[in-house]
Amino acid sequence: MTGALVTAALITGALLLVLVVPHALARQEQLRTVPAQALLLWQSVSLTGVALALLAAPVAAATFGTDRPGLLAAALLVSGLMLARVLWSGHRIGIDLRRRRARQRELVDLVGERIKHRRPRQHRPHPRDAVTVIAHANPTAYCLPGRGDRIVLSQAAVDRLAPEELGAVLAHEHAHLLHRHDLLLELFTVLHETVPQRIRSQAALQEVHLLTEVLADRRAAQEAGHTVLARALVAMATPAPTTTPSPDASPDPRLDGALRATGGHAQVKVRLRVLAAEPAPRWFATSLVAAAGTLLLVPVLLLLPLI
């Protein structure tokens, strides 16, 4: 009976973490005030959900089919196919992402002009201080992580932003590169696409993108100040008068291989609200870390009765 209960717990946990919890977490706006801890919780939810799903079939077969080797083999095949889907999704997305970034680096190096910019609180030069400026009518800024990091600014951004605002935008991009937010987003994109399309939570993926932007905003605000960063975000989100604003959407790193300083107007409004919000109490951040750690232990704890 213990095996049956463990099997039920594995299946129930997998369904909850894959189908229910992402939708619920995406609606918890308070998590945006502690983006680092919130992203840790999101990671634990995603990884634990995948682990429970992979374990469910073998445990069920071992419980109900001890005298049926064929059933166990079929269960292992199901889990193997699920794991293969995850690995194939990671390979495909990773290859496509790096190919797009390499192509973009070639393009910006071809048409852009390299300039040097010293960060406000930095005393020694750093390779990431090299910025590429491209001709573009709208203010834009993004980074291309990976081999040969690039930070790209449009000439419109350079012309429109005051020096301290430009420093805030660059600090935001430096944070993306320094903390490799691209790898975090790649992980979530892989896990997102592993789930069948009909039951994916697009809102969850967008929320993770937003949290990475808020996390980079925190670093930029520490260097340039909240007010300066807010002014920079507003200036960057305002299109040139002769152009049509792009639809509101969180940037998808698979589309252009870049992490942008600003998203759509709706995302910028949210980031401005988070920037102006009161800091979350310490206990709240601590509780998220504890919840993330506990979730990661769930597969082990469920399997202990069977060992």
Report the distance separating Cα 270 and Cα 275, nearest Å.
9
Label residue 60 by pLDDT band (50, 70, 90): confident
Is-contact 143 185, C-beta < 8 A? no
For 58-81, give the DSSP string: HHHHHHH-TT-HHHHHHHHHHHHH
Label residue 111 by pLDDT band (50, 70, 90): confident
Query: Rounded to the nearest 5 degrees, what angle is found at the Cα of 28, between the Cα atoms of 24 and 30?
Result: 160
* pLDDT tens-place string over residues 144-155: 887 778 899 999
Residue 117 has pLDDT above 70, yes or no: no
Amino acid 206: pLDDT = 93
Amino acid 255: pLDDT = 34
Amino acid 256: pLDDT = 46
State the residue for tokens 């069920």.
60
* pLDDT tens-place string over residues 244-258: 444 333 333 333 445
Q: Where are the domains of the chain?
A: 113-276
* pLDDT tens-place string over residues 24-51: 999 999 999 999 999 999 999 999 999 9
Is-contact 166 232, C-beta < 8 A? yes
Q: What mean pLDDT is predicted for residues 213-227? A: 93
φ, ψ of residue 76 in degrees (nearest 5) = -65, -35
Report the distance separating Cα 82 and Cα 219, nearest Å.
38
Residue 124 has pLDDT above 50, yes or no: no
Least confident of 92-96, 98-102, 204-208, 262-266: 262-266
What are the distances in angstroms from CA 7 to CA 3, 83, 103, 201? 6, 18, 47, 25
What are the distances in angstroms from CA 37 to CA 121, 172, 249, 293, 301? 26, 19, 24, 11, 23
Q: What mean pLDDT is predicted for residues 153-179? A: 92
Nearest of 205, 307, 303, 226 to residue 271 by alpha carbon: 226
Contacts of 204 (CB under 8 A, 6+ apart): 22, 23, 25, 26, 42, 192
